[in-house]
Structure 1
Amino acid sequence: MGQDGSARHPEHQYLDLVRRVWEEGSTRIDRTGVGTRALFGATMRFDLSDGTVPLLTTKRVFWKPALRELLWFLSGSRNIRPLVADGVHIWTDWPLAKYRQQTGEAISAEDFELRIITDDAFAERWGDLGPVYGAQWRNWPRYTPTPDGQFTREPHGHDQISTLVHQLQSNPHSRRLIFSGWNVAEIDQMALPPCHMTYQYFVEDKRLSCILYQRSCDLGLGFAFNIFEASVLLHMLAKQCKMLPGEMVWMGADCHAYLNHEALITTQLQRDPRPFPKLHITRTPDSIFEYKFDDFVVEGYDPHPAIKLPVAV
């Protein structure tokens, strides 16, 4: 509650965590070399039952690329080509860095993406990110034992999302309503190991809630996409399974702010949150994999201006 007795805006959970991380977090040298301030272990809860989505308002979040990323995850793709074709650049930095390192060519990001779109062979070779999120969500590897004691990988893996939808519809009180991207055997093949790694769902009175466990959270850039996408997915699953949205619970392990994100700290923390927008899904296709970008409407989003921050690769 606020000092005046009114309900406290749920975005203050995020702002409070950012402030704590910046003021109390330990300074750490991370894999990017940029450095962070970090705290370990945090929780936030967002009520989605009134149709809202936790889309941060203290800075503008470009939710359309986030939605396209979620649909890309659900497609099972591991290549940036579909994203680049839709004008989404959030995954380009990793394969671009790999291409520059291995070829020595100082290609621009724009030229690299143009080749990804126009050159099939180039896209297949250099646009592949390895078995990242969507590949694990939709095609977790299966192996069959052979007579000589070895294992053969089956051509089609386990579709965790299809299984989840079936479980929600057939056994909604199960304690196994889970999917994960953390495949230990394939971590070293991924451009980036999954940060938002495990999702678990809970049904009570036809109301669907979710806990997202995130091993690593970039509070400056990543969190806004992570919490929005997880909440949209919860709305999608609820609609697909004829349920109502409940609560989105976020659990972060290594919660950090990059040292070069001070603009976030000095600007965003001075702003007052505005009402969260509503999410409308305009149709219910036969499958959760048949949703299109135009099926989603975000209504009433009135954020403060964007804060441009660098990405640490």
Structure 2
Amino acid sequence: MGEKQYLDLLVEIMKNGAKKSDRTGVGTKALFGCQMRFDLRQGFPLLTTKKVNFKAIIHELLWFIKGNTNIKYLVDNGVNIWNEWPFTKYKNSSDYQGESLAEFREKIKNDNEFAKKYGELGPVYGKQWRNFGGVDQLKELVENLKNNPLSRRHILTAWNPPEIKQMLLPPCHLLAQFFVSENNKLSCLLYQRSGDMFLGVPFNIASYSLLTAMLAQVCGYEVGEFIHVIGDAHIYLNHCEQVQEQLGRKPKKLPTLKLNPSIKSVFDFRFEDISLENYESYPPIKAQVAV
């Protein structure tokens, strides 16, 4: 269980993945239709074979929950995982004056008007979670988990076909279904159409495990499982060396997630209310994101 499943899937893709050209031009090794299961009672599934930036995961999830789709909140909090896409759009505009990505980031941070114009990603995750054609999906999900726990309709989706073309990056993790067991355990199954196994998927595992724990607390349940289903699970060809380095490391014990027990609404969580205990990991491994 736990991290071993992720590492085993890396091995499987490296060994049996089909080489594919892709939208970014980098190229991948890919497998189609993969599944991992994580028992959240056995520890929080944040990778230990490389250090993962949990601060960024918390801020991104809080950003989704707020319904925010502008990178300014993230940049202001030192989270730069979404910057490349709006920067690419800015480079194609008539306002572009040869700024670097770092200079673009500083403009987003220090110029509110610039951030409004060039920090927007379009109607991505947060917008769909909180306003999908006028429906606040997250609010309805919480109400249904509390009041109709045995329902099979506990769904949160970000895939909105009429708005896909307005998004700088269409949703990769696009549908989550939640399940309440007879013994009051809350589990989550995530369907992800496209998974960058080295850079993105460790974030996705931790993010939805965190969301499951937050929902469990505010709805009065214990955590169960996180099940991760990935359509196109791929390793970029320029990440293969980093993957091999990571596979040479032996996993450590998983950390423990701590949530402020006084928080009773998923909308009230702040960064300070979420922490990890006993997170020990190997050093981070750098790799370039494909845009």
- TM-score, length-scaled by structure 1: 0.90
Alpha-carbon displacement from aligned partner over 1:52-92 (angstroms, at most 9, x marks no partner): 21001111111111111011010100100111110111111
- 8 Å contact kept, 1:218–1:258: yes
For 2:274 and 2:64, how far apart are their aligned partners in 1? Answer: 16
The residue matched to 1:102 in structure 2 has which SS? coil
Counterpart residue number, 2:64: 73
- 161, 165, 172: which one pairs with 1:195? 172
Paired-residue identity, %: 48
Give the CA deviation at 1:231: 0.2
Counterpart residue number, 1:92: 83
For 1:123 and 1:305, how far apart are their aligned partners in 2? Answer: 33
The residue matched to 2:115 in structure 1 has which SS? helix
Structure 2 stretches lacking a partner, 5+ long: none
- The structure with the larger Rg is 1
For the pair 1:289 / 2:267, whether they are aligned, the reply is yes
Q: State the superposition RMSD in angstroms.
A: 1.1
Counterpart residue number, 2:114: 122
Alpha-carbon displacement from aligned partner over 1:16-59 (angstroms, at most 9, x marks no partner): 11111112111111100000000001111111124x21001111
| Structure 1 runs of 4+ with >3 Å offset | none
The residue matched to 1:306 in structure 2 has which SS? coil
For the pair 1:233 / 2:211, whether they are aligned, the reply is yes
- 154, 163, 167: which one pairs with 2:144? 167
- 8 Å contact kept, 1:239–1:284: no
For 1:38 and 1:208, how far apart are their aligned partners in 2? Answer: 31
Give the CA deviation at 1:210: 0.7
Counterpart residue number, 1:144: none
Counterpart residue number, 1:150: none
- 8 Å contact kept, 2:46–2:255: yes
Moved more, 233-242 or 113-122: 113-122
Counterpart residue number, 1:304: 282
For 2:89 and 2:46, how far apart are their aligned partners in 1? Answer: 32
- 231, 234, 257: which one pairs with 2:235? 257
Counterpart residue number, 2:27: 35
For 1:275 and 1:284, how far apart are their aligned partners in 2? Answer: 28
For 2:275 and 2:110, how far apart are their aligned partners in 1? Answer: 31
The residue matched to 1:260 in structure 2 has which SS? helix
For 1:106 and 1:36, how far apart are their aligned partners in 2? Answer: 30
- 8 Å contact kept, 1:240–1:284: no
Moved more, 19-28 or 31-40: 19-28
Structure 1 stretches lacking a partner, 5+ long: 1-8, 142-156
The residue matched to 2:14 in structure 1 has which SS? helix
- 8 Å contact kept, 2:217–2:264: no
Give the CA deviation at 1:265: 2.3
May I ask how many residue pairs the two structures share in their alignment? 289
- TM-score, length-scaled by structure 2: 0.97
Give the CA deviation at 1:198: 0.4
Alpha-carbon displacement from aligned partner over 1:141-171 (angstroms, at most 9, x marks no partner): 2xxxxxxxxxxxxxxx211000000000000
For the pair 1:222 / 2:200, whether they are aligned, the reply is yes
- 5, 13, 16: which one pairs with 1:13? 5
